[in-house]
A and B are shown apart, each in its own frame.
Chain A
Amino acid sequence: MATKLAVDAHVRYFRMCLHGLPHQMTSLDAARMTFVQLCLVGLAALGKLDETCSAEDKKGMIEWIYGQQVLRDGTELSAAYCGFRGGSLFGPHDLCDYTPANSANVAGTYSALCALLLLGDDLSRVDRPAIVEALRCLQQQDSGCFAPHPGTTERDPRFIYCACAISAILDDWSGVDKDAAVKYIVSCCNPDGGMTQAPFQESHGGHLYCCVASLALMGRLDA
């Protein structure tokens, strides 16, 4: 039985994924940005990122990531859609009359920012005010939780975590009402000691992580 981490095998895997994924992974098409982030995180954690990705590779990846940025178009409507898309599935920005078609989502934005930082980008091309405004639009008035993008009833701690991570990276919390978010997170504490996605639902490790990490990022672990 192996007792050492097979570093080379993992590096090969991440490099292979960055190069391309088989069609069986089509269901990841709207979340490619997160997959990119995970590959880069994996390589970085193994201390192999620079060895695996040349300066030119990194530059190319940075360009692709920025290609997914949704910028303000001057209308009020567009604010909530800004940030980074999960991939290029949605179509060229300049050919779109129907704003929701080209929507960013908070997971895409979070993953893009992490990936850019790992690639050594200085985030100078990131439209920070647009992202902060999008977060403000996506935090729900009634509950304090976050939706991932406009037009969906989805809202849960995954997106609170994305919003908090984004705010921490941009060092700008004006898009997040921390008190409201904390209140929602606290309501997700279960009697069994676990945490969940919405009050009364079953305790779930993934949401527990998102809740606790969000509190930590907001400096509110004492809540």
Chain B
Amino acid sequence: MVRIVDNDSDYDESSSLPMSQQEEWSDVVPIPQDDGKNPVCPISYTDEYREMTDYFRAVMAAGEVSQRAFELSGRVIDANAAHYTAWVYRKKLILDLGLDISEELSWVSEISGRHIKNYQLWHHRGALLALLLDPKSLEHESQDQRVQNPAIRNELQFVGEVIDNDSKNFHAWSHRQLVVRSYGIWDQEMAYVETQINQDVRNNSAWNQRYFVLTANQSADEFVLSEEVADREIGYAVEKIKLAPNNESPWSYVIGLLARHAPAMLYERLLPKINELAADKDYAIAVTSTPFYWSALVDIYEEQAKALSVDERGGVEAFAEEACDSLAEKYDPIRAKYWEYRKQALRTAN
């Protein structure tokens, strides 16, 4: 169970004997920090941290391989999770001592509440997973079977808890991509994405994950957006736009998807649906008062104009320019200069 704590709370050093009085450490000469004569931005360490790092400097400098060095590395990391060489040393100790990877994953879970946005922690977790479970060992299993693998289940549970606490934790979503991609568990991820979007239609991280699930399972050259899938995604996006028209995510999702993979579908398939929405008395006002509706029109008409001959494209370009004007003047005035730039770009594309 991941318990997130306020990042500002002091690291809780349990009260115990100073290391200098511990028998276990009596053979080690601690190395004090050498901050030179004129330290800049020196930190007023707690006595515990100072002593801990004095001993840690000593064992790390000697490249000591031992259980006590390993445990000390954990205390140092928990006190300062951005200590980049401590993580490298800890990983080496795990391998040299042949320590249990699952236990290490549990330790990472335990301290993660205090360091939930720390890059090194998440990368350490990813490296541990690769050591624990070789993707090749699951080659012959179905996706349903793979999802039942204890290590995979554990990862999904951990990262799911983190996202439950903070639905936009960048590292957590990134870790999900690592797990999905490494072990080929794409189907459950689409279901997960839909649950997240149902919980919060404004969660852009979930929308981004939808694009990932849809397209990342093959190389960039291989992915082809079929008409069937395009219609499904357009329908899905429109349904979510109806829930909250002034929410950028479904708009940028569907336009991005089509613009990148099947630009003609922007005007052939998406535009009719947007026009329907704008004509629907239940949604017309809410939808057409958002900047996203007008921005969508600029993107769509711009693309449509490209496909027309010079003679034919005038009308469509005019629509796009009018949309730019509406945005600059009324719906998105803070970006007036950007919309002016888009208008100029339309003209010079002639």
Known interface pairs A89-B53, A153-B123; A27-B61 also in contact (CB < 8 Å): no
| Partner of B62 from A17, A60, A97 at Cβ < 8 Å | A97
Determine whether B22 belongs to the interface, using a CB cutoff of 8 Å to chain A: no
What's the tally of chain A residues with a CB closer than 8 Å to chain B?
A: 58
Give, as a whole number of angstroms, the nearest-CB distance from B335 to chain A.
Answer: 13
B84 touches A105 (CB 8 A): yes
Distance in Å from the Cβ of A151 to the closest Cβ of chain B? 4
Contact assessment for B33 and A88 in the assembled complex, using a CB-CB cutoff below 8 Å: yes
Query: In the assembled complex, which residues on chain A have CB atoms less than 8 Å from the CB atom of B46?
Result: 23, 26
A13 at the interface (CB under 8 A from B): no
- Asked if B253 is at the interface (CB within 8 A of a chain A CB), the reply is yes
Q: Which chain B residues border A36 with CB–CB below 8 Å?
A: 40-41
Report which of B36, B120, B211 forms a contact with A88, defined as CB distance below 8 A: B36
The reply to whether A28 and B82 form a contact with Cβ atoms under 8 Å apart is yes
User: In chain B between 192 and 242, which residues have their CB closer than 8 angstroms to a CB of chain A?
Assistant: 204-205, 208, 211-212, 215-216
**Residue of chain B at shortest CB distance from A21:** B43
Q: Which of A63, A190, A193 contacts B36 (CB 8 A)?
A: A63
- Docked pose: A86 CA to B83 CA in angstroms: 9
State whether the Cβ of A22 lies closer than 8 Å to any Cβ in chain B: yes
Pair A30/B8 contact, Cβ less than 8 Å: no
Indicate which residue in A89, A95, A96, A103 contacts B88 across the interface (CB closer than 8 Å).
A103
- Once A90-B57, A101-B60 are accepted as A-B contacts, the answer to whether A152 and B87 lie under 8 Å apart by CB is yes
Q: A95-B31, A96-B61, A153-B126 are in contact. Are A18 and B212 (CB under 8 A)?
A: no
Min CB gap A18→B, angstroms: 6
Least Cβ–Cβ distance between A99 and chain B, in angstroms: 9
B62 touches A64 (CB 8 A): no
Main secondary structure of the interface of B (DSSP, over half): helix
Across the interface, do B170 and A204 meet the contact criterion of CB distance under 8 Å? yes
Tell me the smallest distance from the CB of A23 to a CB of chain B, in Å. Answer: 5
| Chain B residues numbered 245-276 whose CB sits less than 8 Å from any CB in chain A | 252-253, 255-257, 259-260
Is the C-beta of B146 less than 8 angstroms from some C-beta in chain A? no
A203 and B216 alpha carbons, distance in the complex (Å): 16
Kindly list chain B residues whose C-beta atoms are within 8 Å of the C-beta of A136: none
Q: Is A27's CB under 8 angstroms from B80's CB?
A: yes
Task: Tell me whether A201 and B177 are in contact (CB under 8 A).
Answer: yes
Q: Is the CB of A20 within 8 A of B212?
A: no
A60–B35 CA distance with the chains assembled, in angstroms: 12
Asked whether B289 is an interface residue with its Cβ less than 8 Å from the other chain, the reply is no
Most buried by A among B45, B53, B84: B84
Are B62 and A32 touching (Cβ within 8 A)? no
Interfacial chain A residues near B8, Cβ < 8 Å? 24
Is A100's CB within 8 Å of the partner chain B? yes
A118 within 8 A of B: no
Which residues in window 72-94 of B have CB below 8 A to A? 79-85, 87-89, 91-92
- State whether B37 touches A21 (Cβ < 8 A): no
Tell me, in angstroms, the Cα distance from A100 to B80 when the chains sit together.
Answer: 18
How many whole Å from B133's CB to the nearest CB in chain A? 16
Asked, given contacts A23-B49, A201-B177, whether A192 binds B41 with beta carbons under 8 Å apart, the answer is no
| Contact present for B40 and A27 (CB under 8 Å) | no
**Residues of chain B lying within 8 A (CB to CB) of residue A32:** 40-41, 43
Q: Is A202 an interface residue (CB 8 A)?
A: yes
- Residues from chain A with a CB closer than 8 A to the CB of B260 are 191
Q: Is B34 an interface residue (CB 8 A)?
A: yes
Q: Which residues of A contact B84 (CB under 8 A)?
A: 30, 86, 103, 105, 148-149, 152
Q: For B142, list chain A residues within 8 Å (CB).
A: none
B interface footprint on A90-110 (CB within 8 Å = 1, 0 otherwise): 111001111011110100000
Contact bitstring A193-217, B, C-beta under 8 A = 1, else 0: 1000111111110000000000000
A68 vs chain B, min Cβ distance (A): 9
Contacts A/B (CB < 8 Å), 22 sampled: A18-B40, A18-B41, A20-B43, A21-B41, A26-B49, A30-B80, A32-B40, A91-B60, A97-B62, A98-B61, A101-B61, A101-B85, A103-B84, A105-B84, A149-B88, A151-B91, A153-B126, A191-B256, A192-B252, A193-B252, A201-B174, A202-B173
In the complex, given contacts A26-B46, A98-B62, A202-B208, what are 11 additional A-B residue pairs having Cβ atoms less than 8 angstroms apart?
Answer: A21-B42, A21-B44, A27-B82, A30-B83, A67-B36, A91-B60, A149-B84, A152-B120, A153-B123, A197-B174, A201-B170
Q: Which 3 residue pairs across A and B have the least CB separation, nearest first?
A: A191-B256, A60-B38, A98-B63
